[in-house]
Amino acid sequence: MKINGKKALVVGGSSGIGREFARFFAEQSLDVAIISRNKAKLESAKQFIEKFNRNESKIYALQGDVTSEAFGKVIDETLSSLNGVPDYVVYTAGVAFPRKFAEIPFDNFVQSVNTNYLGFVKTMHHLLQHYTDKKINVIVISSMAALIDTFGYTTYAPTKIALRSFVKGLSYEYKDISFYVVYPIDTLTNQLISENETKPLETFLIDESGGITTPDRIVSYTMSIVAKNGKKNFYEIIPDGRFVYLVSKVFPWVIDLAVNSALGKAQKIRKEGREREVLNKMIERYRKKFEEYERKRNKT
């Protein structure tokens, strides 16, 4: 897929899935801007992306917090660096606080809505003020948690399904924009590793059956759909876990059964006094897989 001469913006591009999108675009000779909060992460992501920049694409790393009042200005600055509205906009900024409801501070709900949902609304609000009728692609990273309800994600799943609803509405108003909502399963990134620190045992046991994927797989699968660019302007993309998703639609009781079985298993493990031991094992398993993936990715 060769798409030179164009430009891309990745909000949340300093890590994980976003960084991988930015890498992909740089490799395809696009100018790329990434935005996120942490300067050190931005710098290290820029270095990573530059390794794949073989055609002197311009790579911009801009510091910005999607939850801040000033974020509109960052978008304006980015558009002036990129010299106009990007051909590809990817929104991956996201936070998750997996815990049992009673343990979650209310502020975590606010932060989730502001980052995962309103940050995207804000991005589009500012971007579309500069938009004429150019054909562009907007890719939004939702989550499988938006499609299959699970345990421990009350801060997160509602914000991810809100994205779908918002994007679908926009797709009726902006016919020249192709919208893609992506629903990844568990993906080996920093977010997943930090989520594991607070994830309830029940959630781990449920997630076990959902499988695990990698950022490069999500990007290559998504971009293969984007490249086809069919007649519609709204697409929903499930890179992995389509079988489980299908089961949840056709036989929802199977999902309830699986969740209830995991709840029973968690209770048993707790009774046996093995909760910490089991959690540690799972955390370690994910961490090893993540480190192995990152090692390979950084060598490429």
Ligand X SMILES: NC(=O)c1ccc[n+]([C@@H]2O[C@H](COP(=O)([O-])OP(=O)(O)OC[C@H]3O[C@@H](n4cnc5c(N)ncnc54)[C@H](OP(=O)(O)O)[C@@H]3O)[C@@H](O)[C@H]2O)c1
Which residues are at the interface with ligand X (CB under 6 A)?
12, 14-18, 36-38, 41, 64-67, 92-96, 115-116, 141, 143, 184, 186-187, 189-192
Q: How far is the CB of 154 from ligand X (least distance, A)?
A: 14
DSSP-derived 3-state class of residue 7 = strand
d(CA 183, CA 240): 8
| Residue (55 or 209) nearer to ligand X, CB | 209
Tell me if 90 sits within 8 A of 10, measured CB to CB: yes
Q: How far is the CB of 57 from ligand X (least distance, A)?
A: 19
Q: How far is the CB of 194 from ligand X (least distance, A)?
A: 7
Q: How far is the CB of 11 from ligand X (least distance, A)?
A: 6
Q: Which of 212, 229, 221 is nearest to 176 (CA)?
A: 229
**Burial status of residue 273 (CB atoms within 10 A of its CB: 0-12, 13-18, 19 or more):** exposed
Q: Which of 167, 185, 194 is nearest to 96 (CA)?
A: 194
* Cα torsion 32, 35, 36, 38: sign: positive
Tell me if 159 sits within 8 A of 141, measured CB to CB: no
Other Cβ atoms closer than 10 A to 237:
20
| Residue (152 or 184) nearer to ligand X, CB | 184
Cα 77 to Cα 9, 81, 130, 188, 271, distances in angstroms: 12, 6, 12, 31, 56
Q: How far is the CB of 273 from ligand X (least distance, A)?
A: 29
| Residue (28 or 214) nearer to ligand X, CB | 214
Q: How far is the CB of 72 from ligand X (least distance, A)?
A: 13
| Residue (34 or 231) nearer to ligand X, CB | 34
| Residue (97 or 171) nearer to ligand X, CB | 97
Tell me if 218 sits within 8 A of 118, measured CB to CB: no
Cα 239 to Cα 120, 149, 182, 184, 215, distances in angstroms: 21, 18, 8, 6, 11
Q: How far is the CB of 237 from ligand X (least distance, A)?
A: 12
Residue type, 173: E
| Residue (96 or 167) nearer to ligand X, CB | 96
211 CB-near residues (< 8 Å, 6+ apart): 185, 186, 240, 241, 244
| Residue (37 or 265) nearer to ligand X, CB | 37
Q: How far is the CB of 60 from ligand X (least distance, A)?
A: 14
| Residue (191 or 220) nearer to ligand X, CB | 191
